[in-house]
């Protein structure tokens, strides 16, 4: 948990002209609304967040929020997506004290929660966000994170580096001796993020299960976290990984020359961490203030430049934002929309059928 103290921020304004005064008067209702929201949030005194964003990445955002709103403490719980889902649903059913906000990279399971438990709140930051990233003023995409292939730069030859999914599958299938037990990805049965990315892969690639068959010919090594996969590729225990969160891979590669990164040129899925405010939030105003900060230019600057999580906005400092990634990756970009279409494969029957088909193709 992350606890922060607080104080009230005051703004002193000097009126230098009639024009300035007119502008201030015109903005008065909005300023009053912001002031009322902040006053209520500070009265509540804290916001409780359940998140999959690891504490190292979240810390700069939490610090930035504390610096701006020190009267609002943040109780931050870093959990995996399955734990968040099960704990939150249980608490909602029992009426126990629970999260005011969910912020998770498992887009589909988070959307499933949002359809049942999210309150409606139209953030003033909506005009700066892509249309596909806001669902009914209830759920918000907060990042723009392409998925990537990673490889061990010491042990994979330049001529072997795959640049498309088909190339990756062919590389493994044609070189089983070298890549046996050396290719890693998510265990789609244990990882909600991994399952969601596999579903999206199957939507984008008509030959997806042939790809799974080909990479599976080397006996895929399945993991539940990006960190574990990067560690194994860095050490050489594995040589390649796919569907790795690019934001984490980029941060690791800056310090670890053993990690190479490729954004596939046939298509690159773009994940967005989804945030929503609980309809039964104990601290709804504080949750609104935090959400607005997270989506604001100030908060997104921190995400992009300190947390190394690509901003969903296109107006932050530097090029680690949606615009920068679109320029870098071009037509290969495939953002996963924040909407209820993500729910179609979450029904138990459809989920089991997909997992069984995947495991059969992968020979797992």
How many helices (H) and strands (E) the chain has is answered by 14, 13
Q: Which CATH class is domain 145-270+343-362?
A: alpha beta
CA distances from 54 to 59, 60, 305 (A): 9, 11, 16
Domain definitions of the chain by residue range = 18-143+273-320, 145-270+343-362
pLDDT reading at 121 higher than 80? yes
The pair of structure tokens assigned to 275 is 């945030």
Q: Give pLDDT tens digits for 225-267.
A: 888 999 999 999 999 999 999 988 998 999 999 999 999 999 9
Q: Which fold has domain 18-143+273-320?
A: D-Maltodextrin-Binding Protein; domain 2 (3.40.190)
pTM: 0.84
CA atoms of 117 and 240, how far apart (whole Å): 39
Q: What is the mean pLDDT of residues 4-20?
A: 36
pLDDT reading at 10 higher than 60? no
Q: Give pLDDT tens digits for 67-79.
A: 999 999 999 999 9
Split at pLDDT 50, 70, 90, the class of 12 is: very low
Per-residue pLDDT, 344? 86
User: How buried is 22 (Cβ within 10 angstroms: 0-12 exposed, 13-18 middle, 19+ buried)?
Assistant: exposed
Mean per-residue pLDDT over the chain, rounded? 90
167-188 burial string, b = 16+ CB within 10 Å, else e? bbbebbbeeeeebeebbbbbbb
Per-residue pLDDT, 19? 43
* DSSP type of residue 93: H
CA distances from 153 to 161, 182, 183, 232 (A): 9, 14, 14, 13
Q: What is the mean pLDDT of residues 315-344?
A: 92
DSSP labels, 167-222: HHHHHHHHTHHHHTT-EEEE-TTT-HHHHHHHHHHHHH-TTHHHHHHHHHTT--EE
* CA dihedral for 302, 305, 310, 315, sign (positive or negative): positive
Is 145-270+343-362 the same fold as 18-143+273-320? yes
Q: What is the mean pLDDT of residues 8-26?
A: 38
Split at pLDDT 50, 70, 90, the class of 82 is: confident
Per-residue pLDDT, 247? 87
Per-residue pLDDT, 13? 34
pLDDT reading at 7 higher than 60? no
């Amino acid at each position: 948990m992350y606890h922060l103290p607080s104080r009230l921020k005051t703004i002193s304004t000097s009126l230098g002209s009639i024009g300035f005064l007119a502008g201030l008067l015109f903005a008065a209702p909005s300023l009053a609304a912001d002031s009322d929201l902040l006053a209520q949030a500070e009265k509540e005194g804290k916001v409780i967040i359940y998140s999959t964003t690891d504490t190292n990445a979240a810390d700069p955002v939490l610090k930035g929020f504390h610096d701006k709103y020190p009267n609002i403490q943040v109780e931050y719980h870093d959990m995996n997506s399955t734990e968040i889902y099960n704990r939150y649903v249980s608490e909602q059913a029992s009426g126990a004290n629970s999260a005011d906000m969910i912020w998770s990279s498992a887009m589909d399971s988070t959307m499933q929660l949002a359809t049942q438990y999210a309150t409606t709140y139209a953030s003033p930051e909506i005009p700066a966000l892509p249309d596909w990233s806001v669902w009914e003023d209830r759920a918000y995409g907060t990042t723009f994170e392409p998925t990537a292939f990673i490889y061990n730069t010491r042990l994979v030859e330049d001529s072997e580096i795959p640049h498309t999914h088909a190339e990756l599958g062919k590389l493994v299938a044609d070189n089983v001796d070298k890549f046996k037990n050396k290719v890693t990805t998510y265990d789609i049965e244990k990882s909600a993020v991994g399952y969601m990315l596999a579903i999206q892969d199957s939507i984008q690639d008509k030959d997806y299960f042939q790809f799974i068959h080909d990479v599976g010919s080397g006996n895929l090594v399945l993991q539940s976290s990006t960190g574990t996969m990067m560690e194994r590729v860095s050490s050489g225990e594995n040589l390649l990984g796919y569907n790795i969160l690019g934001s984490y891979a980029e941060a690791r590669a800056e310090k670890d020359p053993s990690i190479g990164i490729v954004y596939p040129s046939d298509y690159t899925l773009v994940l967005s961490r989804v945030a929503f405010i609980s309809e039964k939030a104990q601290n709804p105003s504080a949750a609104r203030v935090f959400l607005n900060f997270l989506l604001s230019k100030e908060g997104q600057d921190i995400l992009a430049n300190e947390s190394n999580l690509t901003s969903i906005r296109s107006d932050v400092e530097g090029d680690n934002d949606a615009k920068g990634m679109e320029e870098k990756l071009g037509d290969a970009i495939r953002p996963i929309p924040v909407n209820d279409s993500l729910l179609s494969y979450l029904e138990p029957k459809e989920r089991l059928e997909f997992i069984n088909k995947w495991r059969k193709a992968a020979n797992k």
